Amino acid sequence: MVHNGQKILVVEDEPDIRKLVQYNLAQEHFRVLEAEDGEQALKILQRDKPNLLILDLMLPGLSGIELCRILRDRTDTARLPILMLTAKAGETDRVLGLEMGADDYLTKPFSPRELVARVRAILRRAASAAQTESLPAYDKGGLKIDFTTYEVFARGKNVKL
């Protein structure tokens, strides 16, 4: 499967891990952008619009958790899929990462094949959600059908189905 133009931003302060992730994603034809800290990631996010963010929690300066919180609060990045890739393997850390807005959480050491599979799965879900959101509503005469919420209105009144 070729991922034409799909960009992934990898935010990782360890160069060897960043290179490993970049190599494996590039082998799958993803365009990979790299940042070594949260501040650099924010600059890249303003310039480029990646399809997914792979984020380490323990970054110098702005932590991964703080970056995730910032991205979820901004309208332009609120729905950006985020995969946390971190050495913090405790249950509390995983729960916190997911509650802060991560879509998935993978601990180090990790399998590059599993990482790529998780990236593909997240992107599939994101594409499916985007397709669902873009469903048009039918609105003619006194009848309106909202295909996103599965609601029907007749002359402005909600019809129970």
> Is residue 58 over pLDDT 60?
yes
* pLDDT of the residue at 150: 75
* pLDDT of the residue at 50: 96
| Structure confidence by residue, pLDDT tens digits, 81-134 | 999 998 888 888 888 888 888 999 999 999 999 999 999 999 998 887 666 555
Interhelix angle 112-133/15-27, rounded to 10 degrees, is: 60
* pLDDT of the residue at 110: 95
Separation CA 74–CA 138 (nearest Å): 30
> Is residue 17 over pLDDT 90?
yes
Q: What are residue 77's phi and psi, to 5 degrees?
A: -125, 5
Edge-first strand order for the sheet with 157-159 is 138-140, 143-146, 151-154, 157-159
pTM, rounded to two decimals:
0.77
Q: List, as one string, the DSSP characters of the chain.
A: ---TT-EEEEE-S-HHHHHHHHHHHHHTT-EEEEESSHHHHHHHHHH---SEEEE-S--SSS-HHHHHHHHHHSTTTTT--EEEEES--SHHHHHHHHHTT-SEEEESS--HHHHHHHHHHHHHHHHHHHHHHTPPPEEETTEEEETTTTEEEETTEEEP-
Q: List, as one string, the DSSP characters of 31-56.
A: EEEEESSHHHHHHHHHH---SEEEE-
